Structure 1
Amino acid sequence: MEDIYIVMLVALFALAVTDLVVGVSNDAINFLSSAIGSRAFSMRNILIVASIGVGVGAVFSSGIMEVARKGIFLPGEFYFEEIMIIFMAVMITDVLLLDFFNSLGLPTSTTVSIVFELLGAAVSMAAIKIYKDSGNFVDILNYINTSKATEIIIGILLAVVVAFIIGAVVQYFSRLIFSFQFEQKVKYAGAVFGGVSLTAILYFILLKGLSSVTFIPEAFLNYIDENTLVIIGAGLILFTLFSQALMSFFKVNVLKMVILVGTFSLALAFAGNDLVNFIGVPIAAWQSFELWQSAYTSTGVLPSEFLMSGLQGEVSTPPFLLLGAGAVMVITLWFSSKARNVVKTGVNLSRQGEVSERFDPNFISRGIVRYSVILGNGIGAITPDVISRKIEEKFQNQKAFSRDDDETPAFDLVRASVNLVVASILISIGTSLKLPLSTTYVTFMVAMGTSLSDRAWDRESAVYRVAGVVNVIGGWFVTALVAFSAAAIFGAIIYFGGIIAITVLIGLAIFSIARSFVLHSRKEKEKAKTKPFRRKDISTINDIVVESSKNISSIVCGVNQMFSKTVKNLGYYDKGKLKKNKKSIKKLESEIDELKRNVFYFIKTIEEGSLDSNRFYILILDYLQDIVQSIGYITRNSYNHVNNNHKNLKFNQVRDLKRVDDKMQALFDEIEDIFAQQDFARIDVVLAGKQALLNDVGELIEKQIKRIRTTESSPKNSELYFGLLLETRDLITSTMNLLELYREFNFAVETTRFPGVRP
């Protein structure tokens, strides 16, 4: 009888290790984004500081399972068998849910996920018990602490609204004090700013960090609580003097000191308080097993008859498990690329400069931006001109925040410091008031508020950034809903399916994690192959040639493959593969969209007087867009024809299209190689076959006209076939126009008509 529960315990601890990895990958945004975004230190140094904070927090963690102590459900109402089902459902759900958010690169709350998973699994188990006993489902309230779930929801709303507003207000006044040219102002106001910031962070560490340390005497904690104002006052004086000494004698930038200490404090608090979100459930299962095993040895009580009243108290974690969990967290910080993706989302949404916007605008973001502009114009109209001019001077941003450049900051040290200090203060206040705040929600919304005040969200980017924030916030609420529902469903499946259901669900979790890892690795490799645009790399027409040749080679390769696959899959009437082709075409379109978004920066960075080179690049984009539009039409129309269950093309039509495909494949292979090797002298050979290829397509059009007059009886087939041939002709024409442009360019290089070109 014990064997099945031992197997479940092993599975739970294995899931806990996986949960640690995916959980830390998501929560890394809490303590890494400000330091990474500001480039205050190298990535290596940031990770060292964060690792120390995580390690210290893990070692000093009390190991108390917060959610059990807070009573999300009442353990005394459930039997041991039911408790183990609840815990298994929770861990499987948590691993799947957090990995899903990591794959999307979106931050979510591990605290909220674990709370609602426990709530969902417990509700499911309580409902099954009530149904079996023919009871009233209102009695579920006797099993669940509904007030705690309400507190969590209120905490989420408070965190979102309050953190955003406070972050925005503090950053606004900080910018008025320091402006963007803060280097000089720091010499005079930096000591006070450092004193206030370091005092706030100290209070945060004392309240949020040390409160969970087991060996700290209760008398010391009581002293801190009773003498809070004295400690804050003394800290303010000492840290102000300390900051001044650092600046005057050691020439240390006090803002960097604040960022360093702030990153450490948030990492410490995360590990010290949130660690048990990942390992608390298996620890509680272990303790449950020990309680039942002891009772079974002495009385022979069955798992289905032993009530778990012993779990009503605190669930302590052995120190060696805390050390092991801390080690896993530190390793994850260093090696998880998904953690960097989640951090990148927060950094890019708050970036001062331009960025490739990840989120598409929606009606909510458009409405918020529109009415915000109206409100801003109204406030500006009633503000005296003198005050307006003074404020505008403070926000004159003369620093170069490069676009998508890993070597330059997304925002400055002032904003990074405010992010960390305000987040620390709010989390400290929430803790003192015993509010169930999420560190993820607080840190993210503070960063968004400071971004708004710093005018990082201008008219060019606001609608995209607001859409991103709306999506992230929506994801938080989806976290609660999905966590509750999935855990409830998994709990019911395990109850009725037993060990077979557990095996299947764990297999599902393993498959999902493995698939996510493979897809993520593949995506990262594709990104590595594609060199991102960087302004400083482009300055002459030669740079444009190199850059555009790579882009053309890549796009022509994609078009070549897409054309061949579409013709082949259309011939086989394969709806599934045609649907994949339709989805794949979006990748080519996104490449073109990205190149078009960069036109402004190309023109800005090309050497003065290179008007012809700018025109040259714009024409390249125009032809590439025509090429992608043609292949997009061919792909989508082929899929729509099959999806609508129209008749397949006739054998002769498919055969003729295959012949065209063979010739197109030879053409595109040659073009791809020309641009990959940048051997533009071979262009004339390709252009010589232009008319012959167009004539071949023209002949097929004539053949179809004759078919219609004699044997063709399907209007839809004719519509599709004509469309494919006409778009193929346009595809050939656009491709040849691109080649002719490069032929003219070669002549221009020889005659040095392009400024900045090496003949």
Structure 2
Amino acid sequence: MDNIYLLMLVALTILAVLDIVVGVSNDAINFLNSAIGSKALSMRTIMIIASLGIFIGAVFSSGLMEVARKGIFMPGEFYFDEIMVIFMAVMITDILLLDFFNTLGLPTSTTVSIVFNLLGAAVVMSLIKIGANDQESVADLGKYINTDTALTIIGGILLSVFIAFTVGALVQWISRMIFTFQYEKKMKNFGAIFGGVALAAITYFIFLKGLKGTPWYSGLKGYIEGNEIIILGISLVFWTLFSFAFQKIVKKSILLVVIGVGTFGLALAFSGNDLVNFIGVPMAAYHSYEAWSVSGIDPTLFSMNVLNKKVPAEPLLLFIAGAIMVATLWLSKKAKTVAETELSLSRQGETHEKFEPNALSRAVVKGAGYLSLGVGFLIPSSLKDKMSSSFDKPQAVALTKDQSIDAPAFDMIRASVNLMVAGILISIATTYKLPLSTTYVTFMVAMGTSLADKAWGRESAVYRVAGVLNVIGGWFFTAFGAFVAAGIVAFLINWNKEVMIPILLLLTAVLLARNYLNHKRKSNTTIDPSKLKKSESSTVQGIISESAHNISNVISRTNKIYTDVLKGLAKEDSSTLKKSKKGVEKLESEVEDLRDNIFYLIKNLDETSVRGSNFYITILAYLTDIAQSLEYISKKSYKHINNNHKKLRFSQIKDLQEIDDKLSSMLTEIVEVFDSGKFERISYVLSRKEEINNQIAEKIHKQIERTRTEESSPKNTSLYFNILLETKDLVNGVMNLMEEYYTSYKRE
């Protein structure tokens, strides 16, 4: 196909737009989370500030595209057709990898992703060239690949993670010791100094990192380089005076300005420096195609030395890229998902934890606990008490995990430290030309400040540490996955461009569409009306009334699950039994959530209504008993059928169905009682307890007789007895629940 390279260029252009979208969706947390988490500014204000930073940084990001052209491989060693294969493989893989992380809601580094995509594709293409050349071996790989860059970046990952976490924790601890959690009083005296230091650091960061490489910076370069200390000193004095005047005149905290300027600075640096991760490869492909198309040389013979030359900026392309980045920031729902991950890990109070603890997180938490105890022995008690008082939080209404989502995740002191420390570290690294990822630095600073702020208490530490370990593990997977995947895609494209490129592009479109639809479905999931509801009342009457819904809900689901299990047993239908088992697990999880809410219920009860907590706790205990009985019956039944044991005898199935008919009738009546509010009828339900228990006892006796005379299957006998005995416990749990509710209802 004569125009295959033109089609590849068109495809790369489309992929560049998609890469901007998925890249911004992931990197948005770098500059948004401090402002969003503190709720210092309105969401609209935050988005406007970030949009300005992104657009300005993108439009003036000239001179930053070299990493995609010659930073990872030696372009002169490749021909045009080979370089286009590398670029196509890189863009396909980069989009899918970043979208995968966005769908999971995990932050990763777009820099590491693009670098290792380039490295993987270039290595495979180099090996193909080496394999076709009898004069070369694998030892000649260094001729094609800039290995120093890759090793330096890996070292930068490890170093930046450790330094950012440590420095963030230290600065936050010092800040909290000075300002405490009741910082409003201290800010009147020391706010000007704190604001001056923070704004001076952020301003320096903006000029050094955010504007470096732009036309603006070239005009200021002579004034900045070599005079950094003087500039910092002047900036410190200016911002300190500004902070003092701002607080006196506006009567608001200077922290608002710090958070606003810091958000702008990080957004500016992100777009100005990370734009290469999204459009650097397509722009390099465009310049390659431009040079080859006018050469008249065969694409398999045209050397890519042209990529060694520095190219001028493309103002129109940068403008379009900036506009796409801003639009993505406003419209992307996946950006919000990624942001929620960092906020949940850094939230000061209790929240719905996104990660489950693992052996490593438990070991880390235990080790940190022992270390803390050891250090504590070395510090005098008086000093420990004084230090501890700085972390005393003002008394406030206890918020449930649901309510905490709408509250600030942390205060403005921590938000300011996050922005200030991240800006300083990135500035220092830029000064010494050390490679790092803005994602790694901002995320680890946020985690360090969370630890220092005692956001990771004993109630949440194992979950938060597990989350951080998952995110860090994802970063290394980014490097490994990008390298391997890009290499495979490059191999496939090189094997047959005309066939593989359309297939891979179609596969990319399908995967992106599937991930988008799955994420949209999850985001738009409405509250399940059948889900158990947490009590929010502060009175006994309110708690009793709210509990009626949950009791009706549990009894109704119990009726369905029990009947479905017996039907699944009779028909040996493992899929029905598996579905019932999942239904029980969901019910148990919801009951456990209600139990977790007991603390907040008791905290918010009226002093005259404390008795309501006893009622609520007892009701939850009986709901737990019911769920556990169902769990045992469903698990045993599923295991029996799944292991292909003998089917229950017809007489056994018939007996169980008779019990189910009677139990179902009673459970249906209970649901009607609670749905209609005619609670006086509970007394009639209670009178049926003995009838059902007698029926169960009769079936147990019959099975004993069958076992002695005709039963030949130990597994069947065991299962049948287990179901009958657990059914008896289930009935007792339901009756205990009815008695407790009826007694409390009559008392009120």
**Cα distance in structure 2, aligned partners of 1:253 and 1:558:** 53
> How far has the Cα of 1:660 moved from its partner?
6.1
> How far has the Cα of 1:223 moved from its partner?
2.2
Letter in 1 for 2:191: G
Alignment of 1:482-497 (within 5 A): 482-496=481-495
Structure 2 residue 319 is the aligned partner of structure 1 residue 323 = yes
**Cα distance in structure 2, aligned partners of 1:682 and 1:523:** 41
**Cα distance in structure 2, aligned partners of 1:556 and 1:336:** 41
Matched residue, 1:189? 190
Matched residue, 2:250? 250
Structure 2 residue 511 is the aligned partner of structure 1 residue 515 = no
Alignment of 1:173-322 (within 5 A): 173-213=174-214, 215-216=215-216, 218-295=218-295, 298-299=296-297, 301=298, 303-314=299-310, 318-322=314-318
Structure 2 residue 424 is the aligned partner of structure 1 residue 428 = no
> How far has the Cα of 1:542 moved from its partner?
4.0
Tell me whether 600-609 or 385-394 shows the greater mean CA deviation: 385-394
Contact map agreement 1:68 1:314 (CA 8 A) in 2: no
Q: 1:648 to 1:747 in 2, by over 3 A?
A: same
**Cα distance in structure 1, aligned partners of 2:673 and 2:114:** 56
Matched residue, 1:153? 154
**Cα distance in structure 1, aligned partners of 2:488 and 2:537:** 55
**Cα distance in structure 2, aligned partners of 1:441 and 1:174:** 22
Letter in 2 for 1:146: T
**Cα distance in structure 1, aligned partners of 2:706 and 2:21:** 63
Q: 1:628 to 1:26 in 2, by over 3 A?
A: farther
**Cα distance in structure 2, aligned partners of 1:266 and 1:334:** 17
Matched residue, 1:440? 439
Contact map agreement 2:164 2:448 (CA 8 A) in 1: yes
Tell me whether 345-354 or 309-318 shows the greater mean CA deviation: 309-318
Contact map agreement 1:163 1:442 (CA 8 A) in 2: yes
Q: 1:191 to 1:572 in 2, by over 3 A?
A: same
1:277-309 Cα deviation digits (max 9, x unpaired): 1232333333333333333xx24x1x4443333
> How far has the Cα of 1:702 moved from its partner?
5.4
- Aligned residue for 1:211, secondary structure, equals coil
> How far has the Cα of 1:685 moved from its partner?
6.1
**Cα distance in structure 2, aligned partners of 1:316 and 1:562:** 69
**Cα distance in structure 1, aligned partners of 2:51 and 2:101:** 23
Contact map agreement 2:400 2:600 (CA 8 A) in 1: no
Matched residue, 1:126? 126
Letter in 2 for 1:436: P
**Cα distance in structure 2, aligned partners of 1:567 and 1:84:** 62
1:705-749 Cα deviation digits (max 9, x unpaired): 565456654333333344344434433432343233322232122
Q: 1:252 to 1:664 in 2, by over 3 A?
A: same
Contact map agreement 2:534 2:597 (CA 8 A) in 1: no
> How far has the Cα of 1:530 moved from its partner?
7.3
**Cα distance in structure 1, aligned partners of 2:526 and 2:64:** 42
**What is the TM-score of this pair, normalised by structure 2?**
0.90
Alignment of 1:618-637 (within 5 A): 618-637=617-636
1:233-282 Cα deviation digits (max 9, x unpaired): 11111111111110111212101110111111111211221123123233
Q: 1:12 to 1:682 in 2, by over 3 A?
A: farther
Q: 1:117 to 1:739 in 2, by over 3 A?
A: farther
**Cα distance in structure 2, aligned partners of 1:70 and 1:720:** 69
1:455-479 Cα deviation digits (max 9, x unpaired): 2222332232222222221221122
Q: 1:441 to 1:552 in 2, by over 3 A?
A: farther
Q: 1:710 to 1:145 in 2, by over 3 A?
A: farther
**Cα distance in structure 1, aligned partners of 2:410 and 2:535:** 19
> How far has the Cα of 1:445 moved from its partner?
1.0
**Cα distance in structure 2, aligned partners of 1:683 and 1:63:** 79
Q: 1:159 to 1:683 in 2, by over 3 A?
A: farther
Q: 1:536 to 1:690 in 2, by over 3 A?
A: closer
**Cα distance in structure 1, aligned partners of 2:662 and 2:545:** 27
**Cα distance in structure 2, aligned partners of 1:288 and 1:625:** 67
Q: 1:630 to 1:502 in 2, by over 3 A?
A: farther
Q: 1:661 to 1:42 in 2, by over 3 A?
A: farther
Contact map agreement 2:69 2:284 (CA 8 A) in 1: no
Contact map agreement 1:69 1:313 (CA 8 A) in 2: no
Q: 1:6 to 1:373 in 2, by over 3 A?
A: same
Letter in 2 for 1:282: P
> How far has the Cα of 1:442 moved from its partner?
0.8
**Cα distance in structure 2, aligned partners of 1:324 and 1:10:** 16
Tell me whether 470-479 or 673-682 shows the greater mean CA deviation: 673-682
Give the unaligned 5+ runs of structure 2.
none
Alignment of 1:212-611 (within 5 A): 212-213=213-214, 215-216=215-216, 218-295=218-295, 298-299=296-297, 301=298, 303-314=299-310, 318-398=314-394, 400=396, 402-404=399-401, 405-496=404-495, 498-526=497-525, 528-529=527-528, 537-545=536-544, 547-552=546-551, 555-556=554-555, 559=558, 562-563=561-562, 566-570=565-569, 573-575=572-574, 578-579=577-578, 582=581, 585-611=584-610
Percent sequence identity over matched residues?
Answer: 53
Q: 1:585 to 1:425 in 2, by over 3 A?
A: farther
**Cα distance in structure 1, aligned partners of 2:508 and 2:251:** 52
1:315-334 Cα deviation digits (max 9, x unpaired): 66633333333333333333
Alignment of 1:649-688 (within 5 A): 649=648, 680=679, 683=682, 687=686
**Cα distance in structure 2, aligned partners of 1:376 and 1:576:** 50
Contact map agreement 1:72 1:145 (CA 8 A) in 2: yes
Tell me whether 60-69 or 374-383 shows the greater mean CA deviation: 60-69
- Aligned residue for 1:718, secondary structure, equals helix
**Cα distance in structure 1, aligned partners of 2:14 and 2:662:** 55
Letter in 2 for 1:415: R
Tell me whether 76-85 or 141-150 shows the greater mean CA deviation: 76-85
Structure 2 residue 49 is the aligned partner of structure 1 residue 49 = yes
Letter in 1 for 2:365: V
1:148-186 Cα deviation digits (max 9, x unpaired): 111111111111110111111111111122112111111
Q: 1:531 to 1:718 in 2, by over 3 A?
A: closer
**Cα distance in structure 2, aligned partners of 1:640 and 1:427:** 56
Matched residue, 1:756? none
Contact map agreement 1:575 1:639 (CA 8 A) in 2: yes
Matched residue, 1:143? 144
Letter in 2 for 1:342: V
Tell me whether 188-197 or 643-652 shows the greater mean CA deviation: 643-652
Letter in 1 for 2:336: R
Q: 1:182 to 1:489 in 2, by over 3 A?
A: same
Q: 1:130 to 1:382 in 2, by over 3 A?
A: same
Matched residue, 2:96? 96
Structure 2 residue 13 is the aligned partner of structure 1 residue 17 = no
> How far has the Cα of 1:54 moved from its partner?
1.9
Letter in 2 for 1:175: R
**Cα distance in structure 2, aligned partners of 1:611 and 1:174:** 40
Aligned residues: 744
Q: 1:502 to 1:697 in 2, by over 3 A?
A: farther
Letter in 1 for 2:249: F
Q: 1:278 to 1:36 in 2, by over 3 A?
A: same
Tell me whether 170-179 or 134-143 shows the greater mean CA deviation: 134-143
Matched residue, 2:744? 745
Give the unaligned 5+ runs of structure 1.
750-759
